[in-house]
Amino acid sequence: MAHAVNGVVAAGRGAKVSVETILVPDPGPGEALVKVQACGVCHTDLHYREGGINDEFPFLLGHEAAGVVEAVGEGVTDLAPGDFVILNWRAVCGSCRSCLRGRPQYCFNTHNASQPMTLADGTPLSPALGIGAFAEKTLVHSGQCTKVNPKAPAEVAGLLGCGVMAGIGAAINTGGVTRGDSVAVLGCGGVGDAAIAGARLAGARTIIAVDLDPTKLEWAQRFGATHTVNAREQDVVEAIRELTEGNGADVVIDAVGRPETFKQAFYARDHAGLAVLVGVPTPDMQLELPLIDVFSRGGAVKSSWYGDCLPSRDFPMLIDLYLQGRLDLGAFVTETIGLEDVEKAFEDMHHGRVLRSVVVL
Ligand SMILES: [Zn+2]
Ligand SMILES: [Zn+2]
């Protein structure tokens, strides 16, 4: 039997989102029905609405979520009704060429629910990132549910499902930041601030936050930035070098994802340093670099997809660190809102007025 619940739907390119009645089927084999408790508003949801991801409208938006398992389908043994879970979009398959080589964080065949959720008239919905959690209930693959300590509030836990994990992971997984490193982060929105928090967790000695907006630089200090650079007032590469004894940072993380910022990240590295791209560029962007600089400066340039996270490894660990007071996930939550406020939250996000708005159900 399908469950009729409220969900936030993007009906067409650029159209305002609306709360609609959606039908969520009972879980089939390998699936789980989750009662969503909280879901953060992410830039990717806005990208979906604007048609920037694909054209498979209507979308059921929302993907940074936590909730409680209500029912599981046939064959699901590692999850039970009542479990508190964070939803992930990397339910690893265990059998693709990457999983078989022991690198499940690069899985090429991640799982989603196979039954569609629909509008009341039967029109199938495309759930954002295979999740669709701006809804009272959602249907996912059981592997998309990662159990964590239920003492963590849902509005905090859900943030690990996307942006905050991407940022922390860019520092600790992709960047391999370790004790004593110098780290610079370009762009201090949710992902950039999470990268700063990750660098602090990993023991970085110098953490330089770079942004155009003084308010965001202030926020960055709450997450562990030891120095700030306003890119409107200073040359970013020069400023980072000055703050690192003239050398550049060991790891520079581009959380913006534009050719200009990526070049800054590339040149603000120390020799043999690492530049990590976690901000998502648009398909039209081009990068031009002298090849001799790529060679002679050594080191590496890496992309970070979802912070190269493995949900089963990283989510429970980060929630424990949060509960121990060592990772201030709560500081990412600027406001809690209702399902009907998502459109306004998009606007606030677009104008940089919030770090995260979180829908609480
Ligand atoms: Zn795989
Ligand atoms: Zn996201």
Any idea of the CA torsion for 327, 333, 338, 341, to the nearest 10 degrees? -140
Instruction: Give the strand pairing for 182-186 and 206-211.
Output: parallel
Closest CA to 288 of 268, 260, 311: 260
Q: Which ligand is nearest to the CA of 98?
A: 1
- Calculate how far, in angstroms, residue 99's C-alpha sits from the geometric centre of ligand 1: 4
State the burial class of residue 270 (Cβ atoms within 10 Å of its Cβ: 0-12, 13-18, 19+): buried
pLDDT of residue 283: 86
**Count of CB atoms situated within 10 Å of the CB of 300:** 12
Q: Which ligand is nearest to the CA of 190?
A: 2
* pTM of the predicted model as reported, rounded to 2 decimal places: 0.96
pLDDT of residue 52: 87
pLDDT of residue 352: 86
pLDDT of residue 34: 98
- Calculate how far, in angstroms, residue 291's C-alpha sits from the geometric centre of ligand 2: 33
Domains in the chain, ordered, with CATH?
Answer: 2-161+328-360 (3.90.180.10), 166-305 (3.40.50.720)
| H helix or E strand, kind and range, residue 262 | helix 259-267
Q: Which ligand is nearest to the CA of 143?
A: 1
- Calculate how far, in angstroms, residue 95's C-alpha sits from the geometric centre of ligand 2: 26
User: With a cut of 70, which residues of the chain have pLDDT below it?
Assistant: none
- Calculate how far, in angstroms, residue 315's C-alpha sits from the geometric centre of ligand 1: 19
Q: Which ligand is nearest to the CA of 94?
A: 1
> Token pair of 11, please?
């009906």
pLDDT in tens, 109-138: 999 999 999 999 999 999 999 999 999 999
**Count of CB atoms situated within 10 Å of the CB of 120:** 11
Closest CA to 303 of 87, 106, 90, 144: 106
- Calculate how far, in angstroms, residue 97's C-alpha sits from the geometric centre of ligand 1: 7
pLDDT of residue 125: 98
Q: Which ligand is nearest to the CA of 102?
A: 1
Q: Which ligand is nearest to the CA of 45?
A: 2
- Calculate how far, in angstroms, residue 95's C-alpha sits from the geometric centre of ligand 1: 5
